[in-house]
Structure 1
Amino acid sequence: MTLHDVRPVRRGSLHRALRLLEAVDRHRDGVTADALARELGLPVAVVDRTAAELEDHGYLQRLDGDAYVLGGALVRLAGRTRRDTLRDRLDTALRGLRDELGAAVHLGAYRDGEAVVEASATAPWAPGGPAWVDPRAAAHATALGKCLLAQLDDRARRDHLDRHPPVRLTSRTTTDPGQLLQRLDRQPATMPVLDLQEYALGTVCAAVPLTAGSTAACLAVSLPLDQAYRLRRAADVLADRAATVLLALAL
């Protein structure tokens, strides 16, 4: 058999496998090989052989009664594809904001009791500022962290500060928990949260909340101190573009 003889056979096998997977996907409660054969117009022996190969690789799963459903390997592959797509869309949205603002942009979220940076868009001409303290331990000082804490209720804020007591990072850092809680409580929902060298000297930041269901999230922008005059305008742009980021997240 020559190479030219082999290629059509492989394409035919692949085509049958894809048709079989599509057919099984149309029957979410399961479908037997006999029913698949009738639906696809294929011999039962061919369906049995193809299904067995797909089952061996985890793409199909056989239920009691010999019915087939999609297997875990295919479900995991679809999940990874969706996550990759969402990540690509998010990265594109953040890069667009970075380019529009000429500044580093960050997405923050409060998950499992911690303030985390989910994603960032930086560049040599748009540095993200020094990352010298774990964001989970610096939420009291960063615009991103304070914006997330401001979206929590009083009990959750106190719990966070009990687990991460405020420490002095610069001479401007608020370290008194009571004072910090008062500031968070007075923070207007429509106003950006600012970090004016509280986390790192030479860097200023602003953050705006993202309304994303029950998850506290925010967009933040960071600028070198000599560009502090741009901070408020940058925060306004973040607020205007928040819907675009939420769509990218498909929340």
Structure 2
Amino acid sequence: MADDSDTSTTAKASRDGGVQSLRRAFELLEHLADTGGEASLSELAASSGLPMPTIHRLIRTLVALGYVRQNSNRRYALGARLIRLGENASMQFGTWARPLLAELVEEVGETANLAVLERDEVVYVSQVPSKHSMRMFTEVGRRLLPHGTGVGKAILSQLPADEVRALLKRTGMPAYTEHTLTDPDEMLAQLDKIAAQGYAVDESEQELGVRCVAVPLTGTPAPAAISVSGPEGRLTKEAVSRIAPAVQRIAATLSAHLAGEDLSA
């Protein structure tokens, strides 16, 4: 008959095994996301280092729950059930970010935005408008391709070059205005400059007459950036040098919050 210590050890192993399976399931979802959203079992085994039987068991469970789907080519892709979770998480992120965006608007006098990268698009999840009658040129929930936006370029500047090239190949680089960059090599060269200076500038690349200063968040689970936007007449090139440090400061605070530091601040 097992003594109390044996029972305790068995219970602990069971709990640890459950936690380990949960961790591995989420890691597989992240590996799927890293591959662009679709992969074979062998590719998942290579990227995760897990045994094939373990991957097969976890994937089968995730498919049954709707978090993964199996395509007709027998490859696996992120499931539609994740969309609701991601969108709700993004909106909650946007809700608690609003006080800091409001602080930024108070300081610089222009509209502040928060956007995240989802499925190769940037989606605006929070916004605090300026007090000017001519305000913002986008709205919460709007999705745009990253190459033609300040927040998108700021986010791309934090990604490896091969990931950026793959993303641009998937999305294409349509010209929204005559100023939109449409060449991948030119974009990568600009992203190097953005990474070096710490902020991106959208010079009428999404909408004519609009200038935007954007700064990426760092060390966060999901790629994200904040921006300040306004008409070129107010947000002049000279104003950019004054506004950029303020945007960088708020971005650093948001990055720390999202990483779990000082969440009560």
Residue in 1 that maps onto 2:158? 151
Q: Percent identity?
A: 28
Match for 1:202: what amino acid?
A: G
Tell me which structure has the larger Cα radius of gyration: 1
From 231, 238, 242, the equivalent of 1:233 is 242
Alignment partner of 2:217: what SS?
strand
Distance 2:118 2:91 in 1: 20
Question: Which residue of structure 2 lines up, in the alignment, with residue 167 of structure 1?
Answer: 174
1:25-57 CA deviation, whole Å, 9 max, x = no partner?
xxxx9xxxxxxxxxxxxxxxxxxxxxxxxxxxx
Amino acid corresponding to residue 116 of structure 1 in structure 2? V
Alpha-carbon separation, structure 1, partners of 2:99 and 2:175: 35
Whether 2:149 is the aligned partner of 1:128: answer no
Question: Any conservation in 1 of the 2:94–2:126 contact (CA below 8 Å)?
Answer: no
Deviation at 1:108, TM superposition (A): 1.8
| Residue matched to 1:100 | 107
CA–CA distance in structure 1, aligned partners of residues 233 and 226 of structure 2: 21
* Change in 2 beyond 3 A, CA 1:117/1:88: closer
Specify whether residues 87 and 158 from structure 1 end up closer, same or farther in structure 2 by C-alpha distance, changes over 3 A only: closer
3-state DSSP class of the match of 2:175?
Answer: coil
Instruction: Give, in whole Å, the separation in 2 of the partners of 1:203 and 1:218.
Output: 18
The aligned amino acid for 2:107 is E
Which of 182, 188, 193 in structure 1 is aligned with 2:189? 182
Do the aligned residues in 2 keep the contact of 1:90 with 1:249 (CA within 8 Å)? no
Unaligned residue ranges in structure 2 (runs of 5+): 1-14, 16-88, 261-265
Distance 2:98 2:171 in 1: 30
Residue-pair matches, total: 169
Q: Could you tell me whether the CA contact under 8 Å between 1:89 and 1:249 is conserved in 2?
A: no
Higher relative contact order (CA 8 A, sep 6+): 1
Is the contact made by 1:108 and 1:148 (CA closer than 8 Å) also made in structure 2?
no
Residue 254 of structure 2 corresponds to residue 245 of structure 1: yes
Consecutive unaligned residues in structure 1, runs of 5 or more:
1-28, 30-81
Offset at 1:115? 2.1
What secondary structure sits across from 1:187 in the alignment?
A: helix
Check 1:179–1:247 CA distance in 2 against 1; reply closer, same or farther (3 A cut): closer
**Residue 191 (1) aligns with residue 192 (2):** no
Deviation at 1:223, TM superposition (A): 1.5
Q: Which piece of structure 1 moves more, 121-130 or 223-232?
A: 121-130
Kept after mapping to 1: 8 A contact 2:117/2:224: yes
From 137, 142, 149, give the equivalent of 1:142. 149
CA distance in structure 1 between the aligned counterparts of 2:94 and 2:174, rounded to whole angstroms: 34
What TM-score comes out, normalization by structure 2 length?
0.56
Residues 1:215 and 1:130: Cα distance change in structure 2 (over 3 Å): closer
CA distance in 1, matches of 2:121, 2:92: 26
Match of 2:218 in 1: 211
Q: Cα 1:93–1:127, aligned 2, differ >3 Å: closer, same or farther?
A: same
- Distance (Å, rounded) in 1 between the aligned partners of 2:91 and 2:113: 19
CA-atom RMSD, angstroms? 2.9
User: Would the alpha carbon gap of residues 168 and 99 (structure 1) be closer, same or farther in structure 2, given more than 3 Å must change?
Assistant: same
Match of 2:121 among 114, 120, 123: 114
Aligned to 2:7: none
Residue 87 of structure 1: CA displacement? Answer: 5.2
> Residue type of the partner of 1:246?
S
Q: 1:236 to 1:84 in 2, by over 3 A?
A: closer
